[in-house]
Chains A and B, each alone.
Chain A
């Protein structure tokens, strides 16, 4: 038994370092990053008076009052439903369309291919506020303001460049021979794509979907201007009922928990998939 436990160390290997100070730095950074988040979560369980106490109380009796108020009085669950519909639909469309776009850009050569690739990227270059006014007017003209079709359409267009550029690289990593062998074996082009390329791309497509879903879920600027009572998503809705003459920090905290909670759980749940997809092709 002792035989198997002996570790063979190469004389040329670097000595194992005991980096206690690295851990100190990591803990410090972690504290700085996590305390504000923790504070928001704590506020969510305070009453309004507790949030205004000076100095702030670290130990208090938690109450679910704020959650009750935003859910019952302000209909937070309706906004959440809107958010889910819009995020899921725009993710579905942008990833589906983006996959085909990326495949075409990765596989086929046609005149102006590089220009198309770059043009797609430029769509992502302008900040939202720069285009919000023209888009608002276009939406007004076409009657798309405060409609699911409008905002899903916009998010799809917004996320498309991201999906295309991310997946294009992964498609290029898949040897063309795979499809060619399938074609010679007697498959159609679409069959080869479906049976050979897509299974190989699944981790990357999943990773892109997760990314896009999170971006859509958190989007604020467009949602604030282009959605109304029928389609309002979570991020802009918070402002309307927490900020009036004064900021209701208890409600704000509860809303933040409701917005961030699901996506946080989701990411924890799919983390493995996500990392696998992103690192695909890197480890060979």
Chain B
């Protein structure tokens, strides 16, 4: 197994397209790390530079402490699987899996044993005689993963290996990957644009956009304390709501006010922002749909930490276990996710006026100019650990 270090790697295509811009991160031995980002973020290019299929314009790639920036792919002891086209169509599944071993002149008996063992784990034992085109998409990807696993690679690189499978198979494969990783004690770098894959499988997630790292952290940390507006908007389903606002000292209280609403901040946030609030500054409030609720029949309840935003129903999406309300507030639409048992006891029609209850301890605030997080939700009961990043 191996460690991977990527040190200020930059890739420039053509004259000026900076696909990857000074990327630095490390993957520890036996760690499952995700490169998460939208398409065009430079994830795949980064992966290809680690595999040696692409040469970086600047920076270094170290595997187990050795500089591999210019080494040929075969000298790096990495294994890779693509989203598709990973199998040779002219070879059977068995021969596809045996290919890396034949290259290493593995003796016949050992080769056979290894292929059979991996096939057993991936449950493709009875498919080994078939040609790739006789396999379904999921089976093909499993054979491709099998070929990656038959050899003792130091580092496994995966480029969206399951993104073309159907939803059900994907969720099954997510589990399989998690299990495989612990069984094979593998170091895995996994490229994906699917935040759900990253959240469920990763030890750590590296969020990239425009060729630069936005945040590195454990899935929970990425979700709860996004470093900037991009990460906040990219991770989480349904996506976080953003509302433009200003932070003002309103009488004795500090409040975030915007188009048609004014949310008094909780004491911790207020303390953190008291310096900022003297001169009004442009912010954006970030609200997770899960942390909002539709107030019952317009009746306010007395909880002082909760505050409301008024709006009208724009659409209602029923997801089964939950219902998502799209509420238009001023010019924007805010999505509110309510669990089935927490639904207000009434029917909603389009254009009905509603109030959204906001737990002000759980709001995010982002600097509108830089996008950096100014305050994270105060982690309840741990009142001392308040984050102030952008102020």
Contact = CB atoms under 8 A, between A and B. Distances in A.
Interface residues of B, number: 24
A181 B90 contact: no
B74 A186 contact: yes
Interface in A250-274: none
Contact of A188 (B74, B78, B85, B104): B74
Q: Kindly state the interface size class of chain A when it binds its partner.
A: 10 to 19
B79 interface: yes
Interface in A167-197: 175, 177-178, 180-188, 191, 196
Given A177-B85, A183-B53, A199-B90, A191 B80 contact: no
Interface in A83-122: none
Contacts of A178: 85, 88
B86 A185 contact: no
Given A177-B82, A180-B53, A181-B80, A186 B88 contact: no
A177 B99 CA distance: 15
Nearest to B89: A200
Interface string B75-105: 0001111101110111000000001100110
Contacts of A191: 103
A175 B86 CA distance: 9
B73 interface: yes
A37 to B, nearest CB: 39
Interface in A130-189: 175, 177-178, 180-188
Contacts of A177: 82, 84-86
A185 B79 contact: yes
Interface string B153-165: 0000100000000
A187 B81 CA distance: 15
Contacts, number: 55
A5 to B, nearest CB: 28
B60 interface: no
B214 to A, nearest CB: 28
Contacts of A181: 80-82, 86
B52 interface: yes
A36 B216 CA distance: 79
B73 A183 contact: yes
Main secondary structure of the interface of A (DSSP, over half): helix
Contacts of A187: 74, 103
B99 A182 contact: yes
B51 interface: yes
Contacts of B88: 178, 182, 196, 200
29 contacts: A175-B85, A177-B85, A177-B86, A180-B51, A180-B53, A180-B73, A180-B80, A180-B82, A181-B80, A181-B86, A182-B99, A183-B52, A184-B73, A184-B74, A184-B157, A185-B74, A185-B79, A185-B99, A185-B100, A185-B103, A185-B147, A186-B100, A186-B103, A186-B104, A187-B74, A187-B103, A191-B103, A199-B90, A200-B90
Interface of B: 51-53, 72-74, 78-82, 84-86, 88-90, 99-100, 103-104, 147, 151, 157
Given A181-B86, A191-B103, A200-B90, 6 more contacts: A180-B53, A182-B99, A184-B73, A184-B80, A186-B104, A187-B103
The 9 closest A-B pairs by CB, nearest first: A177-B85, A185-B100, A175-B85, A186-B74, A183-B73, A184-B80, A186-B103, A199-B90, A184-B73
